[in-house]
Amino acid sequence: MEYDERLALFRQTRLNPFDRGEEEDGPQGDKTPPQHEARPEVFPGTRTHSSDRTMDLGLAEDHFSRPVGSFVASDIEQLKLAIEECKKLILELPEHSERQKDNVVKLIHLRLKLQELKDPEEDEPNLRVLLEHRFSKEKSKSVKQTCDKCSTIIWGLIQTWYTCTGCYYRCHSKCMNLITKPCVRSKVSHQSEYELSICPEIGLDRQDYRCAECRAQISLRGVPSEARQCDYTGQYYCSTCHWNDTAVIPARVIHNWEFESRKVCRSSMRYLALMMSRPVLRLKEINPLLFNFVEELVEIRKLRQDILLMKPYFITCKEAMEARLLLQLQDRQHFVENDDMYSLQDLIDISTGRLSCSLTEIHTTFAKHIKLDCERCQAKGFVCELCKEGDILFPFDSHTSVCHDCSAVFHRDCYFDNSTTCPRCARMTERKQDEEELDVKES
């Protein structure tokens, strides 16, 4: 398109009140909504495909897209009533149930839509909600972005465009009503798990030779459109939904310890990017043999177990709380909660050696505070009750053993060689029996 044609299109788009959705002043100075005529479809044939895709998603209609006409007061009142009904329903549903979660999401969307309708004079709203996407209007005039819907360049200087704050889906303003794919972040929030089968292909015939996302006709010969396989889902997509982006595949990492990037579709790329830092992989259940072949995993697991043993010292130490030592792991919060959950980013950093270096440094800092810098933490150490010799012991020392019942600490050699019974547990048991006998005599 030549510059003059683009400029004419820009003027027509910005000056036409139908496209802008603005209100015109009436003869008395009050504002009345403009009367619009029905317009023909922009892309013939898109309605049928859009309906098919919508039915596949289980959504019969879009409740949150911006309508063609302007809203009147009754529409705002209806939204307020819908919000109140949704709030009542949330209180009636069982706690933490899937229906309650879905209604909370719906309530958020209704409130955002109400906020959008209360300011009808803007050319384009700054925030639009569609299929759980939360689109924010961009102000950048760059031409480096590409529309995820129509796969064409976004001319920021003359075109209005939006970015989803959840999954970073980008599109023209004119393409928003054609979107049929829900926000990937909603899937991450409701279903935080990976596909753990390596490229689970089902074949083009099972897909009816259509794109798995937009249902456009595809074939391996490229007629009418090239079929491109996503290595994460195993399904085939058209060139509009699959841009040959690459990503590390979780299933290949867990089963093969392979970190080579593979080609994935756009939706899989966004999903994997959002899931990258989420600790959802329990390796000892998915593939416990991996610890026998990857020495770095064993090292990281030991460091994490030690950090969990150090955590009680920091929680009860005023100096540690003031120094905010545990915040050194704020980017990997799950490291101070458990020792068996991993994120995909953790595994990538383990393979490169980056995690081992950083975690060893943090482990050294924590141990130095407990054993050398803080007198309160030193006072919580243990003396081996079996040999009564040696320095003060801590449960995270490499040469110690910990009783699983009372958490008493002993030298490893003493505990396993000289006794099979913990002296502290024996004392506690004897004291409990004495108290029971005393209660019987008093009664």
Helix, strand, or coil (residue 238) = coil
pLDDT score at 15: 42
Q: What is the DSSP string of 154-184?
A: --TTT--EEEETTT--EEESTTGGG--SPPH
pLDDT of residue 423: 84
Q: What is the pLDDT of residues 202-236, one digit of tens each?
A: 889 999 999 998 888 998 887 778 899 999 999 99
Question: Are the CB atoms for 367 and 360 separated by under 8 Å?
Answer: no
Structure token pair of residue 309: 């043993």
What distance in Å separates the CA atoms of residue 112 and residue 70, rounded to the nearest whole number? 17
Average pLDDT rounded to a whole number, residues 91-101: 87
pLDDT over 60 (residue 338) = yes
At residue 32, the pLDDT reads 41
**Average model confidence (pLDDT) across the chain:** 79
Task: Judge if the upstream peptide bond of residue 224 is cis by omega within 30 degrees of 0.
Answer: yes
Q: Does the pLDDT of residue 99 top 80, yes or no?
A: yes
Strand partners, 164: 135
Could you tell me the two tokens for 190? 């409701």
CA distance 307 to 326: 10
Provide the sign of the torsion angle of the four alpha carbons 218, 219, 222, 228, taken in this order.
positive
The first and second tokens of residue 3, run together, are: 């510059």
Residue 4 has pLDDT above 90, yes or no: no
Say which residues have a Cβ less than 8 Å from residue 26's Cβ, sequence separation at least 6: 32
| Helical ranges in 163-294 per DSSP H | 184-190, 250-256, 266-275, 283-286, 290-293
Does the pLDDT value for residue 51 go beyond 50?
Answer: no
pLDDT at 282 over 70: yes
Provide, rounded to the nearest whole percent, the portion of the chain with pLDDT above 70.
78
- DSSP at 199: S
Residues 6+ apart with CB under 8 A from 101: 190
Angle at 156 between CA 152 and CA 161, to 5 degrees: 70
Residue 413 banded pLDDT, cuts 50, 70, 90 = confident
Whole-structure pTM over 0.75, yes or no? no
Cα–Cα distance measured from residue 221 to residue 236, given in angstroms and rounded to the nearest whole number = 13
Write out pLDDT tens, residues 65-90: 444 444 445 678 888 888 999 999 98
pLDDT, residue 95, reads 86
Comparing 128 with 19, the larger pLDDT belongs to 128
pLDDT given for residue 369 in this prediction = 93
Residue 160: predicted pLDDT? 81
